[in-house]
């Protein structure tokens, strides 16, 4: 993905549906020069922002080809086009963020839910400033990242606004117990971080579960991942898989479903939300 917003992805999905059995090459040919294959492909795959006049012209073409495009649908798609070109707050951090990280922030900003599994760290949406600072420094694999720590901490904290906005994101986080027992040079860092997990876990839109260290072998041992859900637009759900030096977005429907199934297995294996809060409290007392 190259920084496509969810609105652009929705627009692309709707236009693909209108195209039906026609190939992009056939649409380009029938447009008599109004559209070329590469442009149509970029719009449908959300690789570039479409212009409202282009979408309007494309809809006119689909009407000529016998597709039903009512006034309400046309207005909705043109609105998606205009909104998809809007810039988010994170654009002010251009030069600090990688395009892949911008993707994540964009997706979180428009998602309805995030179902997260973290094997080694507390999820970014629940991190305190000092914990985030230590994690960013500990995982920095280049001088460029080391020089942007303060800005990256600012971004991580700014991302968390999705949990407290008027229509908040629903976050369900499953965290391996080992991540909560990770050491820090300053014991106060983990104490504060565990306290934040407890306080955020009291919010109606946040659930925190802990997968105990003595749990049987499980699918989560293959690595961390998050499923970003878009409610009624489930066809736009996407999985975010992060590694040391890169991140991967999984959009294929079958693979998204497989990750959701894996997450369901993990939530069944983890302690209940109530028991998890008790364990976090116990770990915090012993820090």
Q: Where are the domains of the chain?
A: 6-84, 96-286
So what's the architecture of 6-84 in CATH? Orthogonal Bundle (1.10)
Task: Please give the residue that has the higher pLDDT: either 261 or 287.
Answer: 261
Lowest mean pLDDT among 18-22, 88-92, 154-158, 179-183: 88-92
Instruction: State yes or no: pLDDT of 124 exceeds 60.
Output: yes
Q: Quote the CA–CA distance of 80 and 251 in Å, as a whole number.
A: 20
Q: Quote the CA–CA distance of 107 and 100 in Å, as a whole number.
A: 11
pLDDT digits (tens, 9 = 90+) for 19-39: 999 999 999 999 988 899 999
Q: What does pTM read for this prediction?
A: 0.82
pLDDT of residue 90: 85
pLDDT of residue 5: 67
Instruction: State yes or no: pLDDT of 4 exceeds 60.
Output: no
pLDDT band with cut points at 50, 70 and 90 for residue 187:
confident
List all residues 6 or more positions away from 90 whose beta carbon is below 8 Å from its beta carbon: 97, 102, 105, 106, 155, 158
Instruction: State yes or no: pLDDT of 2 exceeds 60.
Output: no
Instruction: State yes or no: pLDDT of 136 exceeds 60.
Output: yes
* Overall CATH class of domain 96-286: alpha beta
pLDDT of residue 226: 97
pLDDT of residue 120: 94
Matching fold, domains 6-84 and 96-286? no
Which ranges of 65-110 would DSSP assign to H, the alpha helix?
71-84, 99-110
Task: Please give the residue that has the higher pLDDT: either 43 or 160.
Answer: 160
pLDDT of residue 82: 79
pLDDT band with cut points at 50, 70 and 90 for residue 244:
confident
Q: What is the mean pLDDT of the chain?
A: 90
pLDDT band with cut points at 50, 70 and 90 for residue 109:
confident
Of 8, 83, 80, nearest to 43 by C-alpha is 8
pLDDT digits (tens, 9 = 90+) for 56-106: 999 999 999 899 888 888 888 888 787 666 678 888 888 888 888 888 898
pLDDT of residue 1: 41
Instruction: State yes or no: pLDDT of 121 exceeds 70.
Output: yes
Which ranges of the chain would DSSP assign to H, the alpha helix?
6-19, 24-30, 37-44, 52-64, 71-84, 99-110, 129-139, 143-146, 149-159, 177-180, 187-200, 253-269, 273-286
Q: Quote the CA–CA distance of 51 and 243 in Å, as a whole number.
A: 35
pLDDT of residue 162: 97
- Contact 244/139 with Cβ under 8 angstroms? yes
Task: Please give the residue that has the higher pLDDT: either 190 or 79.
Answer: 190
pLDDT of residue 185: 81
- Beta-carbon count within 10 A of 186 CB: 10
């Amino acid at each position: 993905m190259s920084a496509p917003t969810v609105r652009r992805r929705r627009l692309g999905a709707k236009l693909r549906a209108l195209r039906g059995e026609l190939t992009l090459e056939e649409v380009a040919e029938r447009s008599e020069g109004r559209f070329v294959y590469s442009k149509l492909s970029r719009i449908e795959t959300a690789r570039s922002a479409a212009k409202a006049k282009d979408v309007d012209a494309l809809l006119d073409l689909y009407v000529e080809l016998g597709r039903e495009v009512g006034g309400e649908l046309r207005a909705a798609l043109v609105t998606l086009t205009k909104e998809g070109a809007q810039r988010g707050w994170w654009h002010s951090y251009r030069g600090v963020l990688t395009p892949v990280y911008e993707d994540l922030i964009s997706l979180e900003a428009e998602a309805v839910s995030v179902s997260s599994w973290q094997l080694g760290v507390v999820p970014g949406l629940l991190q305190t400033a000092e914990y985030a600072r230590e994690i960013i420094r500990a995982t920095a694999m280049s001088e460029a990242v080391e020089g942007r720590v303060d800005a990256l901490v600012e971004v991580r904290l700014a991302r968390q606004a999705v949990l407290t906005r008027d229509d908040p994101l629903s976050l369900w986080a499953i965290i391996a117990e080992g991540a909560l027992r990770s050491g820090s040079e300053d014991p106060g860092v983990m104490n504060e971080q565990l306290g934040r997990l407890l306080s955020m876990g009291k919010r109606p839109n946040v659930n925190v579960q802990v997968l105990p260290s003595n749990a049987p072998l499980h699918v989560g041992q293959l690595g961390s991942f998050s499923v970003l859900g878009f409610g009624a637009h489930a066809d736009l759900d996407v999985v975010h898989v992060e590694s040391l030096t890169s991140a991967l977005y999984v959009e294929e429907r079958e693979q998204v479903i497989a990750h959701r199934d894996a997450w369901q297995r993990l939530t069944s294996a983890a302690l209940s939300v109530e028991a998890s809060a008790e364990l976090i409290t116990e770990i915090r007392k012993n820090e």
